[in-house]
Amino acid sequence: MDPNITKALNDKFYDKRKSGALELEGLIRDALAAQDHDRIAKIVHQLCHEYAYAVHQPHARNGGLIGLAAASIALGPEVARYLEEIVPPVLACFSDQDARVRYYACESMYNIAKVAKGEILVYFNQVFDALCKLAADSELSVKNGAELLDRLVKDIVAESAATYVSSLHTPSGTGEEEAVEDLERPTEDFPTAFSLEKFLPLLEERINVINPFTRTFLVAWITLLDSIPDLELVTYLPRFLDGFFRFLSDPNADVHTMTQASLDRFLNEIKKIARIKRGIADSRKSTGEDGGSVKSGIEAESDIDSLVPDQHDSVGEKEDGSSHTGSITAADEKSDSGEGDWIPGQDVQVDYSKVLDILVKFLGGSTEEEEIQLTALRWIDSFFEICPEDIMPFVPRLLSHVLPTMAHDVETVRQAANRVNTSLMDYIMSLSEDGRRSDNTPGHPQLPGSLSALGKELTGVERRDSNLSSRLLKTVIRDQADVKSVDSRATRTPTPAEDRGSSPRPRPPELDYQAAVNALTLQFLNEHEATRVAAIAWLIMLHRMAPGKILSVEDGTFPALLKTLSDPSEAVVTRDLLLLSQISKNSDDSYFTSFMINLLKLFCTDRRLLETRGNLIIRQLCVTLSAERIYRTMADCLEKDEDIEFASIMVQNLNNNLITAPELADLRRRLRNLDSRDGQSFFVSLFKSWCHNAVATFSLCLLAQAYEQAYHLLQIFADLEMTVNMLIQIDKLVQLLESPVFTYLRIQLLEPEKYPHLYKCLYGLLMLLPQSSAFAALKNRLNSVSAIGYLHIAPRTYVPSSNFNHLRQKSSDTGSPSSQPAPAASSFERPNRLKAREDGGVKWGELLDKFKTMQERARRSQRMSSLGEDLISPIQEKEKSPPEVPPKNPNPNVRPGSVAGGATKIPPVPAGAAAHKPRPSLSNLGRLAGGVAGRRKK
């Protein structure tokens, strides 16, 4: 350069540097006109290394930047061969500490790019990276300069990025023939100056920024690149979608709005591509089936419109306001079905699996990221229309994330999660013909008859329009039909373009049932009721589809299902029982027995569950399963149970349900029919187990109209310990006698000659009760038919043992020589009437023996329990008072306190005992009764 130019470029004043640049521009023009490229190269080298790279000389750097801009303007189209040396020093100045240097760098690069045009795309990554940093610059003037440069580069990219080939990459021939060949050679043979493959790594790196200005810059560029049809940025969407989605959580409203709009564009573009491919597949299908005939354009378009009627939205508007519609013209379809033209979008490949993997990951984010979760749910819901078969591998993960989101704090997120759950359930069920037919299966648990009804019944959420389910089902069936038709024809080998563009979808992979069950089982621990209900609804549906693949006998989910019976939500418990019943119905007897045993164990360990939910669980199971089978199995298990206390409580619960539950009306009618062998067998099975609870056994006999057996049970009651709990049970029984269930029993009181022992049973209850409200109620009932009862003379087929002493005393008093003393007999002696009845199929005497044995075991168990509780105080009381020595009883057939002649020796009462001894209260009645029985035994 001339000395005056070098001096001017080093000057601290901008005007002098500008005048020096103008002189330099004229010098470069003269050298270019003289084809003196060597001098031009030396000048450019001098500007770069002596000026632009002069880090510690800001004025020289500014002069070098303006000098490089002037040289580029002078070179014009020839600047391409010098850009490799011109651009790097300008880019280096973008990161200078001096704001003025950064601004002049923007100005210089603007002039260089304006001249270079498409050639600047060779350095697009470097320019883009510099602009990305300057978008967040603290100096306003620098940001303004960078914005001007950014607009220019965007215009160049929008105009030339898809097609421009650098002149440096195009080989130039020396001869005319070679030059003509280069002009005629298609541009596809040369690499374009701009490459998405090279740009994507930089975008992946920058997409993780958090500065709102930089994010705005990136969103604008992504939107621009997506609007260029030939670039097909949607193909590379999985590479930057993760970071792009995070922009939705930016507190800056502009960033959120721009990101949401850009994501909507991508989603609409994906929908358009899917519609195009589906339309092409339909067109080819019709061509193959109709012998080469092609649908008319109107018919083809109407078919595509029927798939997604509400999706005529544009893929995205260009910057000039134009838009790409989602419809497919008749000419496009007609040309593609034969030897036709290429349809835009037919060969665009979107990796749906990678996109879904990113979307599912965002579902498990924190509750503060509701915008990200909401958008991810909307995308996933759209994918059921776009590519339902690609969703199958993600079902377990979707269940793990979507079900908890159904209880989200934000209403919109909650509704979106419900829609995804609905679509997913509809899709899974639509793939199984068994799932669609199982509604009409005889004997199946009562479940809703349609998919929408199933969702409402089991999840309790509103479903969306039914046309989605039908549209989805038609799409899946059509796709499967495409696969079958293509496999059956196989007349020609498809071209690579056909394979890549519009080949029918393969059959979707099979659902991983075990992974899905594991994901659903974990939701039992969720704190929200809606999530737990939805999880059990899914298990019910999956078990209906494939009962042999999930929830088998050896499945570890079974304990979790049992534990769920303790759930505080009644809706969860009801559906859990429905699932357990469904499993039992599809299993063998061993599984059913195991289920009953484990249920009893759960009741034994969780007494609170037995108290609060025991009746609900038993009744619900009796609705969905055989009530007789349940009662028989539980009775067999309880008969052998070593826990006497629990067995008594469980029998009491089962007996109360047997008497009161409307669901067990058929079972009660079956019990009253003891003339049949089945009724006798069922009664005997229950009686053996009911022996754990004396009042329940008595109630069972009343229910079965075995009044004579009930009367003999009352005789045994006289020797039992009358505890407070027993009196309470008798009180409840008296109340139940007034219920509609025992209407037949009250009517039978009008026929004393036909039911003689019924009077004895009810009067026996009256004698057992203390004078309370129950006593008064039963007494009033008996008094209302007392006149009929007095007219009755009971047949004397046997003499009760309790009357033997009375008869003996009467004979001695009258002195009748014909009266013989009756033989002594215990109160447990088997009556002859019962022996006679055993021929009918029920061994009544053995049942009485069983009752006495079980009650004796219960008495010993209760005594041991009371001794364990009062281990200290009773011993101290015995030390204070001398022990009582019971009189020796020479006759074992006579109870202690009686003599052979029948007179009872009453021990003398100490003086003043009646005045000072307090009357026993109801709370101490059990302990006092136990003490009396113990002294009798001694």
3-state secondary structure of 898: strand
Q: What is the pLDDT of residue 934?
A: 42
Question: Above pLDDT 70, what percent of the chain?
Answer: 69
Rounded (10°) angle between helices 724-737 and 925-937: 110
State the Cα–Cα distance between residues 601 and 579, nearest whole angstrom: 19
State the Cα–Cα distance between residues 712 and 698, nearest whole angstrom: 10
Query: Dihedral of CA 910/914/918/920: which sign?
Result: positive
- Is residue 569 in some structural domain? yes
pLDDT in tens, 66-77: 999 999 999 998
On whether the CB atoms of residues 716 and 827 are closer than 8 A, the answer is yes
| Other Cβ atoms closer than 10 A to 204 | 14
Rg (CA), the chain: 47
3-state secondary structure of 861: helix
Domain termination residue (choose one: 571, 586, 601) = 586
Q: What is the DSSP string of 431-469?
A: T-HHHHHGGG-TT-----SSHHHHHHHHH------HHHH
State the Cα–Cα distance between residues 290 and 902, nearest whole angstrom: 109
- Is residue 858 in some structural domain? yes
Whether 154 and 64 map to the same domain: the answer is: yes
Range list of H helices, 625-742: 627-639, 644-660, 665-672, 677-690, 694-703, 707-717, 724-737
pLDDT band at 479 (very low <50, low <70, confident <90, very high): very low
Domain termination residue (choose one: 141, 168, 195) = 168
pLDDT in tens, 901-934: 333 333 333 333 333 333 333 333 333 334 433 4
Q: What is the pLDDT of residue 404?
A: 93
Q: Which of 72-86, 342-356, 452-466, 724-738 has the lowest mean pLDDT?
A: 452-466
pLDDT in tens, 317-331: 444 443 443 333 334
Whether 7 and 134 map to the same domain: the answer is: yes
On whether the CB atoms of residues 118 and 164 are closer than 8 A, the answer is yes
- Is residue 738 in some structural domain? yes
pLDDT in tens, 621-654: 999 899 999 999 999 999 988 888 999 999 999 9
State the Cα–Cα distance between residues 545 and 541, nearest whole angstrom: 6
Q: What is the pLDDT of residue 461?
A: 37
3-state secondary structure of 294: coil
Q: What is the pLDDT of residue 58?
A: 79
On whether the CB atoms of residues 340 and 287 are closer than 8 A, the answer is no
Q: What is the pLDDT of residue 355?
A: 95
State the Cα–Cα distance between residues 482 and 471, nearest whole angstrom: 16
pLDDT in tens, 663-706: 999 999 988 888 888 889 999 999 999 999 999 999 999 999 99
List the Cα angle 7/8/10 in 5-degree steps. 70
- Which residues, including other chains, have CB under 8 Å from residue 789's CB and lie 6 or more apart? 749, 752, 759, 782
Which phi and psi angles does 317 have, rounded to 5°?
A: -80, 140
Matching residue, tokens 């008859």: 449
pLDDT band at 895 (very low <50, low <70, confident <90, very high): very low
Matching residue, tokens 């421009």: 164
- Which residues, including other chains, have CB under 8 Å from residue 598's CB and lie 6 or more apart? 558, 559, 562
Range list of H helices, 52-98: 58-75, 83-93
Distance (Å) of CA 436 to CA 440, 448, 473, 711 = 9, 11, 12, 56
Which phi and psi angles does 900 have, rounded to 5°?
A: -65, -35
Q: What is the DSSP string of 198-252?
A: HHHHHHHHHTT---HHHHHHHHHHHHHHHH-TTT-GGGGHHHHHHHHHHGGG-S-
Q: Where are the beta strands (DSSP E) in 4-80?
A: none
- Which residue, among 52, 54, 59, 60, has the nearest Cα to 108 in the 3D structure? 52
Tokens at residue 856, please? 């004796």
pLDDT at 265 over 70: yes
| Other Cβ atoms closer than 10 A to 840 | 11
On whether the CB atoms of residues 382 and 345 are closer than 8 A, the answer is no
Whether 522 and 607 map to the same domain: the answer is: no
- Ramachandran category for residue 705: left, alpha or beta (phi over 0 → left; psi -120 to 50 → alpha): left
Cα-to-chain-centroid distance, residue 935 = 62
Whether 10 and 30 map to the same domain: the answer is: yes
pLDDT in tens, 203-227: 999 999 999 999 999 999 999 999 9
Which phi and psi angles does 902 have, rounded to 5°?
A: 100, -15
Whether 2 and 145 map to the same domain: the answer is: yes
Query: Dihedral of CA 608/613/619/622: which sign?
Result: negative
Q: What is the CATH number of the domain that holds 8?
A: 1.25.10.10
3-state secondary structure of 490: coil
- Which residue, among 568, 665, 586, has the nearest Cα to 625 in the 3D structure? 586
State the Cα–Cα distance between residues 561 and 536, nearest whole angstrom: 9
pLDDT in tens, 115-162: 999 999 999 999 999 999 999 999 999 999 999 999 999 999 999 998
Whether 659 and 682 map to the same domain: the answer is: yes
List the Cα angle 794/836/716 in 5-degree steps. 65
pLDDT in tens, 488-541: 333 333 433 344 344 444 556 788 888 999 999 999 999 999 999 999 999 999
- Is residue 84 in some structural domain? yes
pLDDT band at 305 (very low <50, low <70, confident <90, very high): very low
pLDDT in tens, 833-855: 444 344 457 888 999 999 998 88
- Which residues, including other chains, have CB under 8 Å from residue 455's CB and lie 6 or more apart? 421, 422, 425, 461, 463, 537
On whether the CB atoms of residues 711 and 757 are closer than 8 A, the answer is yes
Whether 599 and 612 map to the same domain: the answer is: yes
State the Cα–Cα distance between residues 401 and 519, nearest whole angstrom: 9
Whether 604 and 563 map to the same domain: the answer is: no
On whether the CB atoms of residues 387 and 274 are closer than 8 A, the answer is yes
- Is residue 6 in some structural domain? yes
- Is residue 242 in some structural domain? no
On whether the CB atoms of residues 398 and 360 are closer than 8 A, the answer is yes
- Which residue, among 424, 435, 345, 436, has the nearest Cα to 390 in the 3D structure? 424
Domain termination residue (choose one: 134, 168, 202) = 168
pLDDT at 859 over 50: yes
- Is residue 454 in some structural domain? no
Distance (Å) of CA 188 to CA 29, 162, 198, 922 = 35, 11, 17, 103
Q: Which of 353-357, 839-843, 861-865 has the lowest mean pLDDT?
A: 839-843
- Which residue, among 337, 341, 356, has the nearest Cα to 394 in the 3D structure? 356
pLDDT at 709 over 90: yes
DSSP state letter for 187: G
H-helix or E-strand spanning residue 175: none
Q: What is the CATH number of the domain that holds 521?
A: 1.25.10
Q: Where are the beta strands (DSSP E) in 18-169?
A: none
3-state secondary structure of 190: coil
State the Cα–Cα distance between residues 375 and 248, nearest whole angstrom: 9
Per-residue pLDDT, averaged over 4-18, amounts to 84
Whether 136 and 44 map to the same domain: the answer is: yes
- pTM of this structure: 0.70
- One-letter amino acid of 752: P
Whether 536 and 672 map to the same domain: the answer is: no
Tokens at residue 770, please? 């203390």
- Is residue 104 in some structural domain? yes
Whether 604 and 573 map to the same domain: the answer is: no
Cα-to-chain-centroid distance, residue 571 = 14
What is the number of helices (H) and of strands (E) in the chain?
Answer: 46, 0
3-state secondary structure of 769: coil
Tokens at residue 923, please? 């709370």
Q: What is the mean pLDDT of the chain?
A: 75
On whether the CB atoms of residues 672 and 627 are closer than 8 A, the answer is no
| Other Cβ atoms closer than 10 A to 666 | 11
On whether the CB atoms of residues 668 and 623 are closer than 8 A, the answer is no
What domain range includes position 13?
A: 1-168
Q: How many domains does the chain have?
A: 4
Whether 23 and 133 map to the same domain: the answer is: yes
State the Cα–Cα distance between residues 689 and 641, nearest whole angstrom: 9
Distance (Å) of CA 513 to CA 270, 394, 428, 517 = 30, 12, 11, 6
Q: What is the pLDDT of residue 342?
A: 61
Range list of H helices, 843-924: 844-869, 873-880, 913-916
